Structures are given as structure tokens and as C-alpha cells.
Structure 1
Amino acid sequence: MKTSPEADFLRVLYQSWSDRMTANPTLTIADLRSLFDEWHQPTLEPEGVTYQSKAVAGVEAIWASPVGADASKVILYTHGGGFAVGSAASHRKLAGHLAKHLGVIAVVIDYRRAPEHPFPAQIEDSTAVYRELLALGFKAQDITTCGDSAGGNLAIATVLKVRDDGVALPGAVIAFSPWLDMEHVGTTLETNHTSDALVSKTLLEGMSGMFLGENGSRTNPLANPLKANYKGFPRLYIAAGSVETLLDNATDLAGIASDAGVNVTLSVVDGMQHVFPFLAGRAIEADEELRRIGKWFKGD
């Protein structure tokens, strides 16, 4: 399937990052964070969405509120970036688009990042925010956890952790191109190596090293959700692009969760790169995916 010309914007951006990282192998973490804060560029500003900076449970956050949204329902959005880069600012427009399609509000959190704060700092922050949302009066079934790449991992692991703690679970989970496998054994890491413009095994090894630090285990289910038990997990929507190296993280998750009895919807879009919904407002493929998620969320 031929992708739209607008979809190439994301591939070109990713390739520019890859080229810059290859040309400058000694980039500092501050340099990488500046680079990845360009992640907002593919996403056009969603119309009719206002933003507010307001911390939750001591975690800095950006709230996205579409005009006419049901303010009793909220997306807890955890950004991608290998647990080390990316931010609420780089992802606020994507969260705004998603919130519009779901008809709810969203809160994008700036959880603590590696390497300064290795695992489990990230999940400590996300679960603290989840609990605070409950304390603020949001009903568990009216909360949706969502994230992309490493944030997709965190959106899933947050639910696994609160389930283990006996806390009421959210109504739904959405994962865009989730990065779950900390062992780096997926076959599409090799088969899609030339088609994915950003994510390589080398990049993942560096990011997972920072994330896990000296004491983290690559098979801990809260760090590697492919090792988790999904009994009782909420309904789950997984989106991925067919040309990305992390494709089998998405397909493996769908299989594992389905086998555990979870209501799973898997959407793999031909020709699309890692976290292709970043093209919201720009490319038809992203907008159509968000419309599908909106229909799924509303039960249409």
C-alpha cells in the first residue's frame, strides 16, 4: 500500500535524527533531549483544544481540554522516548488530538527520566498520578491510560502495578508502537531494520541500559510487559506501523493478552513508521487511525 506524501514527514524527521546521532556518537543526554523535543513537529496543532500546566501528585503535567469534552473522563498519557528523552511538551499536541477523538480530557505527565532516575522511578510517578486522579474524583472506569513507545510500555505497566496493589483498574488502555521487550529478541528488529528510519537494536540497547540501570531486570514484568500476566486486564487497543522494528512487540502483546482473555484490538497500518499517530492533523493515515480509536472507545 502506498502511503500519503504527508506521511513521509515523519520518516524524514526520524532519518535526520538517526543521521545526526550517527555523525555525533558522543551526544550528551541533554543533546538527545533537545533533539527529541522536535517530536512535536509532525503533529499539527489541534483546533479547539486548550492547555494548562498543572502538576498532579507532584509530577509536572500538561492538561489538554478539547472544547465540549466530557471533563469527567481523562486520558493519563505517558510520553515515549526510551524513558530518557521526550516530554509532555513534545507530546501535548498528539494527546490533544487523541482527546478530541475520544471526547475527553487528557493529562500528559513529565515523569522522571533515566539515566538520572532509573526504573522504577517512571512507574512510581505514573502510578502516583493514577491514584491522585482517583482521589480527585475520576472514576476508575473513566480513566484511560495511553502512551507511545516507552510510554506505551508505561501505560501498560501502570495498570499491571495498580492491579497488583489491589487498586481499581482503568476502563481502557491504548498503546502506540509500544516498546516492551527489554531483551531485544524480536525478529522484526532484524527484518525491518532497513525500513525503520529511527529505532535500531543499538539505540534500544543504549536506552534500556539507562532505563534499567545497575539493578533493573530485563525480565521484570513491570519493565518488560511481555513477561506479564494479563488476567483481568482492561480492554486494549494497540496501534503500530508495518515497517517499524518494534512491530512484533505490538503483535506479541496482542497475542499474549488475547490468550489471557483480554478484549484486544490490534491495528497495523501498512508503510507507517514508529508512533505514526504523531502525524495527526497532517497525514490521512494518522487521522484515520485516531478516528478508529475514537469509534472503538465509544463502542460505535
Structure 2
Amino acid sequence: MKGALRNPAIQPAIVGGTWYPKLFQPGDEQKTVILHFHGGSFLWGTGRQSDYGIPASTVLKRIPATALFVQYRLASDPACTFPAAVQDAVTAYKHLLDMNIPASNIVISGDSAGGNVAIALLRYLSTANSNSLPSPSAALLWSPSVDLDSQCDPHNIDLHRNNKTDYITGFTLVWGVNAYIPKSVESTDPYFSPL
């Protein structure tokens, strides 16, 4: 890993993933593949059927594709703060390329915290990557977390007009942000707050 993803204390690791609607098969290389990163405030959630089966099937009803939902490392483990999740995103993207899936057939996707991971992957591919990995064809971002700096006041978040319908409270967002961003890094860094 290069640039912001290089960290002697946090190294790339093998992580799992769940394929939807079925396991990718050799010969399917010309189909669109969605590489998705789930939400969960960087603390919880998986891409498994129990957590994301319904959203996956809903998206795939509208987009003819196969999807890989990545089980990226979560900041609920103190050893897995940034850049662990983004390292996992790069590893998953490389895995698809190693399966001979052309980058032009890959769509990067993420919701909430996973949207932040997806944007960080795209940032890495366009800056620190030195063109060693090709860019994907597109990105689908579902309510991505794009400003982790201003999200750090739970009282302001809970005063927002959407507070009554938000799935995650302001205090939960702050907990996730504080767990994910190492103390040595500013929350205004473009890897966390791309706006």
C-alpha cells in the first residue's frame, strides 16, 4: 500500500465477502460486477445475507449485475482503525481484477460509512495508486458519509430536521467516527471528509 494507506501497525488482511445473487462463475467476466461496502458507522454490519440480503436483491432487481459485498474490518476492533477498511477495499478491488474482470465492468458502491470507504478507494485509485490499478467504470453512493469532521458534534446532529427518521443517532455517529479515525490524523483529511 502507498500513501495514506501505508501504516506499519495496520497491514492489509484477507477478508471475506458475500456474492449476490450467486457466486461469481468463470465465464461471467463480461458482466457488470458491483463491489459494495456496507454501512454501519464503521463499527458493525456485514455484507452477509442476514444484514444485506434485502438491499442487495432490491438493487439487483434494477441493475443487471453480480455483486460482491465486502466484509471489511471494522473499527469496533481498536486494531482496525483507518486505514484498515480502505486497505480491504483495495484488496477486494484487486481480487476482482485478478479474477479477470475488466475494470470497465466494475462499479464501486457503498452506503453510509461504506460510501465513505468507497470514496476513499476511488481517491486512492486516482491519486496514490500511480496508475498501477485501472479505474472502475462507475460509482454508486447511497447516502455516503462525506463530512466526518462536522459530524462530530452529536447535539448538532440530533437537532437536524431528519433526526426523527435517521437510522443512527448523533452519538452513534460520533462513536463510529472517533473509533475509525486515528488520533494522529485530522478528521478534515480528504480520506475522511472528501467534501
**TM-score normalised to the size of structure 1?**
0.51
Counterpart in 1 of 2:146?
180
Residues 184, 204 of structure 1: 8 Å contact kept: no
Asked if 1:210 is matched to 2:173, the reply is: no
Cα offset, 1:199, TM superposition: 3.0
Identical aligned pairs, as a percentage?
28
Over 3 Å counting, the alpha-carbon distance change for 1:97 and 1:178 in structure 2 is same
Cα offset, 1:216, TM superposition: 3.2
Match of 2:32, SS? strand
Counterpart in 2 of 1:62?
18
Counterpart in 2 of 1:220?
189
> Pairwise mapping of residues 78-227 of structure 1 onto structure 2 (< 5 A)?
78-89=37-48, 90-116=51-77, 117-164=80-127, 165=129, 166=131, 167-184=133-150, 189=157, 190-226=159-195
Residues 41, 172 of structure 2: 8 Å contact kept: no
Distance of 1:223 and 1:191 partners within structure 2:
21
Distance of 1:223 and 1:135 partners within structure 2:
28
Distance of 1:211 and 1:178 partners within structure 2:
15
Residues 63, 106 of structure 1: 8 Å contact kept: yes
Structure 1 gaps of 5+ residues are 1-56, 227-300
Q: 1:65 is matched by which residue type in structure 2? A: P
Residues 77, 95 of structure 1: 8 Å contact kept: no
Over 3 Å counting, the alpha-carbon distance change for 1:100 and 1:159 in structure 2 is same
Distance of 1:200 and 1:65 partners within structure 2:
32
Q: Which has the larger radius of gyration?
A: 1
Distance of 2:110 and 2:135 partners within structure 1:
16
Residues 104, 137 of structure 2: 8 Å contact kept: yes
Match of 1:103, SS? coil
Match of 1:96, SS? helix
Distance of 2:139 and 2:83 partners within structure 1:
20
How many pairs were matched up?
167
Over 3 Å counting, the alpha-carbon distance change for 1:210 and 1:129 in structure 2 is same
Distance of 2:53 and 2:136 partners within structure 1:
21
Cα offset, 1:195, TM superposition: 2.9
Residues 151, 173 of structure 2: 8 Å contact kept: no
Match of 1:130, SS? helix
Distance of 1:206 and 1:179 partners within structure 2:
14
